[in-house]
Amino acid sequence: MNLTLKVWRQKNPSDKGGFKDYTLSGISSDMSFLEMLDVLNEDLSEKGDDPVHFDHDCREGICGMCSLYINGQPHGPTQTTTCQLHMRSFKDGDTITIEPWRASSFPIIKDLVVDRSSFDRIIQSGGYVSVNTGGVPDANEIPIPKIIADEAFDSATCIGCGACVAACKNASAMLFVSAKISQLALLPQGKVEKRGRAEKMVAQMDDEGFGACTNTGACSAECPKGIDLSNIARMNREYFAASLSTEEH
Amino acid sequence: MSWVSKTLNSTLGKKLIMALTGIFLILFLVVHLAGNLQLILPDDGKSFNVYAETMASNPLIRIVSILNFGFILLHAVYAAILTRHNKKSRPIGYAVSKASENSSWSSRSMGILGTLILIFLLVHLRGFWYELKFGEVPIVTYDGVSYKDTFAIVSAAYQNIFYVIFYVVSMGVLAFHLAHGFSSAFQTLGINHKKYTPFIKKLGLAFAIIVPALFALIPIIMFIQGS
Ligand code: HEM
Ligand code: SF4
Ligand code: FES
């Protein structure tokens, strides 16, 4: 395949940045999107140019490190991570525009790499169980209905990639935060602290400057793990209930 | 900060205010429509005039109408606050965006749709509410009791084709606002359930089509009757 890439290049956080065009030839449709970028970077390195910086780690769709806004969609045209996106999703002769996640809470570090530590700070504010829950309990020692277990598991599949923020017109982090609140609120070990957790995590999310939710559903439609909007409704319930019932004021 | 203002100042709390005021406005639309439909009863405006007079003199209705003004204002002010906040969260947009792949147009256009509704409301209030309250209103007499001839004011306004067109277009705008807003309010309140959400979505869509369509039908019928 022959391709034209329009890639966002930005030297450092304060640089204005801009698009740069590159042409690539001989790309196999079996390559992953990141392998295609590896080819580009090899070309650039051989020429002595600065390679394009982009985030990646596991390259198997489980770590949440890869990002990229590809042709107007986070992680490109298929609902998966960029590392699991393959060049067969594109046609020979295509022009592909690659941009970084855009959100004031995800400042650009360099080129396509953004700083997602705001997510880490939200988790640190309450996305954990404070007491040691011990080893693996015997199966069925704590009865948990299958539907609840499944729902908690679905919420727990969030890999913290930030595609929800990137897709949302408000750069809202509701889908991520609600998945993290839900996975713990649904299970006995996490339930104990669910009220305070909802309050603390929402407060941190707001402090980080993420947008509000207009319920457009763009986040869920673009989420590589298909995290459901019902998580956001649960977060709203938990937060309002917490605010009405906790004794701190 | 007290816990109430802390909650209402959070992004979730601001949306709670949008949802609660929005639901109130939805209920108001139903009552308002029921009243307006009397305009097209074939009795030269008698039932409408009697209804309008009863509403205007009922103290409970007066309280609700003040609340209604307050809630419209609150809804519009919080719309502005949220829109500003959301713009600050995404100061730089994308060069290429395929938003239509992941969300509906109306859900992405609530701000502009709401602003158009606000403009309509101002024109609407100037033309009817202000006119009735402070303008010269003719008097009619039914069975020896005199009433303000509200019907005459309305039917005179609907002889202006531009006003009719403006009204009909505005109801189209309202339809799109409700097409997203109705079900969105439930989600904001935390109501999302596999059993009920599909029904709420269908109900919202039906409401968004039927209610504005009936509102729009009234000036069309009155225009045709008058010409
Ligand atoms: C009869 C008039 C109106 C009705 C029935 C109505 C109803 C609603 C409802 C039910 C929602 C959904 C709330 C939620 O998502 O929780 C909503 C959202 C919204 N409304 Fe209205 N509205 C009306 C007028 C207006 C006006 C006059 C404005 C603006 C000046 C406005 C601006 C907005 C905006 C911007 C949103 C989306 C807020 C967000 O989610 O970010 N609306 N409306
Ligand atoms: S909710 Fe989905 S899109 Fe958002 S961070 Fe988690 S996995 Fe990524
Ligand atoms: S690199 Fe780990 S999910 Fe893509």
Give the model confidence (pLDDT) of A60-114 as tens digits.
999 999 999 999 999 999 999 999 999 999 999 999 999 999 999 999 999 999 9
Yes or no, beta carbons of A171 and B7 under 8 Å apart: no
- Residue B151 pLDDT: 95
Report how far ligand 1's centroid is from the alpha carbon of B177 (Å): 7
Q: How far apart are CA B48 and CA B152, in angstroms?
A: 10
Share in percent of chain B as helix, strand, coil (round to 5): 80, 5, 20
Q: Which bin fits A20, alpha (ψ -120 to 50), beta or left (φ > 0)?
A: beta
Q: Which residues of A touch B23 (CB under 8 A)?
A: none
- Residue A249 pLDDT: 58
Q: Which residues of A touch B99 (CB under 8 A)?
A: 72, 169, 218
Average the pLDDT over A199-216 and give the result: 98
ipTM attached to this prediction: 0.94
Out of B90, B180, B192, name the one closest to residue A233 (CB). Answer: B192
Report pLDDT digits (tens) over B31-74.
999 999 999 999 999 999 999 999 989 999 999 999 999 999 99
Per the structure, the complete domain to which residue B78 belongs is given by 3-91+103-226
- Please, which pLDDT band fits residue A246 given cuts at 50, 70 and 90? confident
- Residue A177 pLDDT: 98
B113: number of Cβ within 10 Å: 22
Residue B98 domain flag: no
How much is the mean pLDDT over chain A? Answer: 96
Average the pLDDT over A179-184 and give the result: 98
Find, in chain A, the residue whose alpha carbon is nearest to that of B10. A206
Each domain of chain A, given as residue ranges in start order, spans: 3-109, 116-245
- Residue B2 pLDDT: 86
Average the pLDDT over B155-161 and give the result: 94
Average the pLDDT over B129-138 and give the result: 89
Yes or no, beta carbons of A213 and B110 under 8 Å apart: no
A108: number of Cβ within 10 Å: 22
Out of B7, B101, B187, name the one closest to residue A232 (CB). Answer: B187
Q: Which of A138-147, A171-180, A196-205, A232-241 has the lowest mean pLDDT?
A: A138-147
- Ligand 3 nearest-atom number relative to CA A81: 4
Residue B96 domain flag: no
- Please, which pLDDT band fits residue B121 given cuts at 50, 70 and 90? very high
**Exposure string (b/e) for A143-162, b if CB count within 10 Å is 16 or more?**
eeeeeeeebbebbbebbbbb
Rg (C-alpha) for chain B, rounded Å, is 20
| C-alpha dihedral, A96 to A56 to A159 to A201, nearest 10° | -100
Residue B20 domain flag: yes
Average the pLDDT over A21-25 and give the result: 97
- Please, which pLDDT band fits residue B132 given cuts at 50, 70 and 90? confident
Q: Find, among A107, A57, A112, the residue nearest to A81 by Cα.
A: A57
Higher pLDDT, B79 or A189: B79
Q: How far apart are CA A117 and CA B131, in angstroms?
A: 58
- Ligand 3 nearest-atom number relative to CA A62: 3
Residue B44 domain flag: yes
CATH classification code of A3-109: 3.10.20.30
Residues with Cβ within 8 Å of A10's Cβ and at least 6 positions away in sequence, in order, are A16, A17, A18, A100, A108, A110, A111
- Ligand 1 nearest-atom number relative to CA B25: 5
Q: Find, among A45, A222, A118, the residue nearest to A109 by Cα.
A: A118
Q: Which bin fits A224, alpha (ψ -120 to 50), beta or left (φ > 0)?
A: alpha
B→A interface, C-beta within 8 Å? 2-3, 6-7, 10-16, 82, 85-86, 88-99, 101-104, 107-108, 110, 180, 183-184, 187-194, 197
CATH classification code of A116-245: 1.10.1060.10
Residue B70 domain flag: yes
Q: Which residues of B touch A169 (CB under 8 A)?
A: 86, 90, 99, 103, 108
Out of B10, B89, B180, name the one closest to residue A202 (CB). Answer: B10
- Please, which pLDDT band fits residue B1 given cuts at 50, 70 and 90? low
Evaluate whether A173 touches A206 at the Cβ level (below 8 Å): no
- Residue A183 pLDDT: 97
Residue B187 domain flag: yes
CATH number at residue B204: 1.20.1300.10
